[in-house]
Amino acid sequence: MKKLLKEIRMLDIKFLREDFEILEDSLKKRGTKLNFSLQDLKDLDQKLKYLRTEMSNLRESQNKLSKEISVLKKDKKDATELVEQSRNIGDEISRLAENERGLDSQFKTLWYQLPNILLSDVPFGSDESQNVAVNYCGEPKDFDFDVIPHWDLGKKLGLLDIERAGKVTGSRFSFHIGFGARLVRALLNFMMDMHRSDGFVELWPPYLVNEASMYGTGQLPKFRDELFKCADDPYFLIPTAEVPVTNFFRDEVLMDSSLPVRFCAYSACFRREAGSYGKDVRGIIRQHQFDKVEMVVFCRPEESLNELQFITEQAQKVLKKLKLPYRVIELCSGDLGFSSAKTYDIEVYMASSKNYREISSCSNFTDFQARRANIRYKPKDSKSRYVHTLNGSGLAIGRTLAAIYEYYQDDEGYLNVPDVLVPYVGTEKIGLTTC
């Protein structure tokens, strides 16, 4: 752990040393409650600076002594006293270095608990009830029959089996069957094809990552309880493709001419959903294993606000092509994710409950992840700088499927297939199928 903490970077230290008020204000707006004070961090930082200055001065003295000893020995003179002085200085440097390592570990353990700094235009609010709806697209149609919830329709048509998945694995897992499985694959291919045609480079990432990767994107240390960890190997199952794709460039310096880099990736995702017991227990809205297409962007700092708009529009484009009503929500300060500086959520209309549910989250992380993962770029005639990273769901496949089941059913008990998916599925209408 000590070695890992030494290798992983963090939030820009200037917020503690030079812009303390900005850091303090951001934490207050988020409603973040720390188990330590920011003054503790400042004190640790000052102690570290003092120790490092002392060690630097001692090394300078030791180097000076080494030169003097070299001269004496060259002239065949006694250097015993200076050698002893140098040895004593070396012992003191070792003692201070041990103290420095301990203080540095303490500092980073606390520092990694600090969330990203909010962008100044993030609306203030204490929780999700104060998020701001910025756009509605598509007027939900009126049904002249009672809409069947997706879990019941999926079971009725032989497309979805949650009970058998519970037998095979446990709660919050599912089998997709026949045309149900084909619809999952159709959504995956449709989304990846669309993003690729719009300039994203396709990646197929590993589903297991190491601890450094989880620190790099901000899942660790805060969200350890949400992760599935291998018992006998140093790997975690990914909660989203954001983790492996963002870490693709960890500890690298990108060429300025290569930016922006835009990746899209499909992956299965694995989340323990700790603390969510009782929420969305029916259906496929909240599961331990689900599928998602992710967009990840690396760009210059001055481009990241435009890139956030771009990936948000890209996620909306999927829903527009599927002709599903949705709305765009700007998250308030109290509902913003740990690593994000600004986020838009996209919520799709669920016809059975006549409400909107999150289907995509598009975030600008500024340089927060880049600092932790050490991802830089080299502008022309300038020293290297940290990139800005962004990501957005494009989209969550299970939730998209649930919305289609509910919005595209008819009064005869059939499921109509969205036009853009017909070439992938091979039929326009799905009736009762059997395994």
The catalytic site residues sit at 271, 286, 358, 361, 399
DSSP 7-52: H---S-THHHHT-HHHHHHHHHHHT---SS-HHHHHHHHHHHHHHH
Q: Which of 191, 171, 351 is nearest to 266 (CA)?
A: 191
C-alpha to C-alpha distance for 196 and 188, rounded to whole angstroms: 12
Helices (H), 232-388: 242-246, 304-322, 368-373
Buried-state track 109-121, b at ≥16 Cβ within 10 A, e below 16: ebbbebbbbbbee
Instruction: Give the pairing type, strands 175-176 and 385-386.
Output: unpaired
| DSSP code per residue over 191-247 | HHHHHHHTTPEEE---SEEEHHHHHHHT-TTTTGGGS-B-SSSSEEE-SSTHHHHHG
Question: Which residues, in sequence order, are bridge partners of residue 267?
Answer: 292
User: From CA 166, how far away is CA 343, in angstroms rounded?
Assistant: 34
Residue 144 phi, psi dihedral angles, 5° rounding: -95, 20
Distance CA 406, CA 150 (A): 6
Q: Tokens representing 281?
A: 């227990």
Inter-helix orientation angle 397-407/304-322, to 10°? 40
Q: Is 172 left (phi over 0), alpha (psi -120 to 50) or beta?
A: left
Question: What is the Cα–Cα distance from 272 to 289, expressed in whole angstroms?
Answer: 9
Residues 6+ away with beta carbon under 8 Å from 263:
200, 201, 202, 203, 245, 248, 295, 296, 297
How is residue 274 written in tokens? 């700790």
Q: Measuring CA to CA, which residue among 234, 385, 359, 379 is closest to residue 294?
A: 359
DSSP collapsed to 3 states, 340-353: CCEEEEEEEEECCC
